[in-house]
């Protein structure tokens, strides 16, 4: 049975990822409108109502902007840590959400949704209780890892051995430093609870790369401080700087689109 991983939208203005397999598909975040989510899923041959739930990474608006509409319209289960749940319930921008739809999860504690085993991983970001997710089923695995300022040996260990990965490559450091953002925002993005740069994304990939990895999607690109080609080339260069210059040469690296559905990865 094949597993799927596809970005409906990815970037500072909104994020929504679809992952799973026949009989059990999930959304990871719902940071764009319910209409855009439905249209994106339709292009993949799916519907919002068919999803088995929404895994929420954290409560920033670019990750929950459409969650209220999705919850009220479809009544999908919402999986989030207790602190993230409370932050969502206090977010006036998403409107009222029935608290009974929430399933409280714990960082680093695996749980099951249908055939999918889900592992929420602790990450470093300036939110209430942010997580990234690994999905496993039938001997296959994929992860969605965005919105992290730094990574450690624990995260490297957890991401080792994956079949597919959507990883943040948020910004080019030089573009960010020379750009129009105010100083405090630049420091936030560059900080330990900010976002992963192209270079750091490539360095993380180099640490977890293995012969069995089938695809990598670079996501959450900044509109102001990055370009698709720049992110792609920087990550490729970082991989080539490793002990094996052929590292990653034959594995597809895709870029998640900001405003459109990206390449569907099946493995």
Render pLDDT for 30-77 as a digit per residue (tens, 0 to 9): 999 999 999 999 999 999 999 999 999 999 999 999 999 999 999 999
Residue 77 C-alpha from the chain's centroid: 19
pLDDT range class, residue 246, cuts 50, 70, 90: low
In which residue are the tokens 């293995």 written? 210
Among the residue ranges 20-34, 58-72, 209-223, 245-259, the one predicted with the least confidence is: 245-259
Token pair recorded at residue 89: 């319930």
> DSSP per residue over 28-53, as a string?
E---S-HHHHHHHHHHTT--GGG---
pLDDT, tens digit, for every residue of 183-214?
999 999 999 999 999 999 999 999 999 989 99
Give the number of other CB atoms < 10 A from CB of residue 191. Answer: 14
pLDDT, tens digit, for every residue of 75-121?
999 999 999 999 999 999 999 999 999 999 999 999 999 999 999 99
Tell me what the pLDDT averaged over the chain comes to.
96
Whole-number pLDDT of residue 229: 97
Helix segments in the chain, DSSP class H: 34-43, 61-64, 67-74, 82-89, 153-159, 173-178, 183-190, 198-208, 228-240
Q: Which residues pair with 200 in a beta bridge?
A: none
Considering only CA atoms, which of 214, 217, 201, 115 is closest in space to residue 155? 201
pLDDT range class, residue 3, cuts 50, 70, 90: very high
- Cα separation of 109 and 121, whole Å? 8
Share of the chain above pLDDT 90, in %: 94
Cα R_g (the chain), whole angstroms: 17
- Cα separation of 178 and 188, whole Å? 15
Whole-number pLDDT of residue 261: 97
Give the number of other CB atoms < 10 A from CB of residue 236. Answer: 16
Token pair recorded at residue 36: 């855009």
- Cα separation of 261 and 5, whole Å? 11
């Amino acid at each position: 049975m094949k597993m799927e991983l596809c970005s409906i939208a990815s970037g500072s203005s909104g994020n929504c990822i679809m992952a799973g397999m026949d009989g059990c598909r999930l959304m990871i975040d719902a940071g764009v409108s319910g209409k855009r989510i439905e249209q994106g899923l339709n292009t993949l041959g799916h519907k919002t109502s068919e999803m088995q739930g929404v895994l929420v990474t954290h409560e920033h608006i670019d990750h929950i902007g459409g969650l209220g509409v999705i919850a009220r319209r479809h009544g999908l289960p919402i999986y989030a840590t207790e602190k993230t749940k409370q932050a969502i319930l206090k977010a006036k921008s998403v409107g009222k959400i029935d608290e009974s739809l929430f399933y409280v999860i714990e960082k680093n504690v695996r749980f099951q949704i249908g055939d999918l085993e889900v592992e929420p991983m602790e990450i470093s970001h300036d939110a209430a209780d942010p997580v990234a997710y690994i999905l496993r089923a039938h001997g296959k695995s994929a992860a969605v890892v965005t919105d992290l300022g730094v990574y450690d040996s624990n995260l490297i260990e957890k991401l080792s051995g994956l079949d597919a990965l959507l990883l943040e490559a948020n910004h080019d450091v030089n573009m960010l430093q020379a750009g129009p953002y105010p100083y405090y925002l630049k420091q936030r993005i560059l900080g330990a609870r900010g976002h992963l740069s192209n270079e750091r994304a490539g360095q993380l990939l180099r640490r977890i790369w293995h012969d069995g990895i089938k695809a990598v999607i670079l996501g959450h690109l900044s509109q102001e401080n990055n370009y698709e080609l720049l992110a792609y080339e920087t990550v490729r260069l970082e991989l080539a700087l490793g002990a094996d210059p052929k590292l990653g040469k034959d594995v597809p690296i895709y870029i998640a689109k900001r405003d459109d559905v990206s390449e569907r990865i099946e493995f």
